Chains A and B, each alone.
Chain A
Amino acid sequence: MGIIKNMGLKFKWLRRLFKKKRARIGIYGPPNAGKTTLANRIIRDWTGDAMGSVSQIPHETRRARRREGVTIESNGSSVTLDIIDTPGLATRIDFHDFMAFGMNEEESKRRAKEATEGVIEAVKWLDDLDGVILVMDATEDPYTQVNVTVIGNMEARKLPLLIAANKIDLPTSSPARIHSAFPQHPLVPISALEGQNIDHLYKEIAQHFG
């Protein structure tokens, strides 16, 4: 880290004093990584509500959902965030994939159309965020183009990024593989479904987005 940047950190209290607003944080990742499950976990833990429905079928979330003013407290520090749960990012959407889950053709085509609109919305939200929680499926190859694209975007904008290596409740998960792929970013292994290590995630959220 640069000397000048290091000096800047010493004035963090000053930046906090003049901070314009609460941070707007997007939850990003490929379809079925567990974004909405994590959003639901965070919202439920800190407000008692839920964000949206989850499903095994990809692109269950096809509109970005926003929850304002979620206050997370950890280790004596507190941060208030606007959380945006975004549709899964993808570069291909084939309606046949939905038919494999038992949907009829008409339903599958409608879902595919809505999914394309959801991806566009997720991309557009990148312009209006203060930071990102990138949810990666820890059982999958971390070098997906979605991960590379989101990380590239955050690095180019110099915005904070926190990687949530999700699904550590599954035996084939490997958060270490994700860490070795993207060692420059903080990573927290979690199970959004089971709540494993979620307190550690809250601590990192308070630290990185506060």
Chain B
Amino acid sequence: MKGIQLDLISEDKLDGMTPMEKVRLILDEVRMGKILVLEKGLTPTEQNKLIELTMTEIAQDDFSGIEIESYPVKHNDTFFSKLLGKSTLKTRLTVIGPAAQLKTIRKDRDLISAMVSP
């Protein structure tokens, strides 16, 4: 059967990886044409690393970059965090694929609608 491979990566697996391991895994898999769905999204620092590394790997006739879409981060505010003026941010589901094959159609706070082309 021919088609696009879709890998769903659990929060547990992501939690066990360093930022660089995550970024490397994402880029290697996406460059092979896979679509990744991360149960827990990347931190802002990891997103920056991913963008930077993606830019260095763009090759004119081979790889034009990635399409990445995630829900906006959630603020996990508890009574104590409010008291201390410190809120924690929770990253959310993220979809990443080759820019040439994955195209976002519509996105809002709780919905990502995308098209995948072979």
Total A-B pairs, Cβ < 8 A: 103
- Interchain CA distance A196-B107 in the complex, whole Å: 29
Over the window 52-91 of chain B, the binary record of Cβ atoms lying under 8 Å from chain A Cβ atoms (1 yes, 0 no) is: 1011101010001111111011010000011111100101
CB-defined contacts of A119 to chain B, threshold 8 Å? 51-52, 55
| Cβ-based interface call for A52 (8 A) | no
Q: How far is the CB of B112 from chain A (nearest CB, A)?
A: 9
Report whether B99 and A143 are in contact in the complex, using a CB–CB cutoff of 8 Å.
no
Task: Using known A-B contacts A120-B52, A152-B47, determine if residue A8 contacts B85 with beta carbons closer than 8 Å.
Answer: yes
- Interchain CA distance A149-B81 in the complex, whole Å: 23
Give which listed residue, B47, B52, B58, contacts A112 with CB less than 8 A: B58
The residue of chain B having its C-beta at the shortest distance from the C-beta of A2 within the complex is B85
CB-defined contacts of B81 to chain A, threshold 8 Å? 2
CB-defined contacts of B44 to chain A, threshold 8 Å? 149, 152-153, 155-157
| Cβ-based interface call for B2 (8 A) | no
| Cβ-based interface call for A94 (8 A) | yes
Which residues of chain A in 90-143 are interfacial with respect to chain B, using CB atoms and an 8 Å cutoff?
Answer: 90-95, 109, 112-113, 116-117, 119-120, 123-124, 126, 141, 143
Interface set of B (CB-CB < 8 Å, partner A): 43-45, 47-48, 50-52, 54-56, 58, 60, 64-70, 72-73, 75, 81-86, 89, 91, 99-100, 106-109
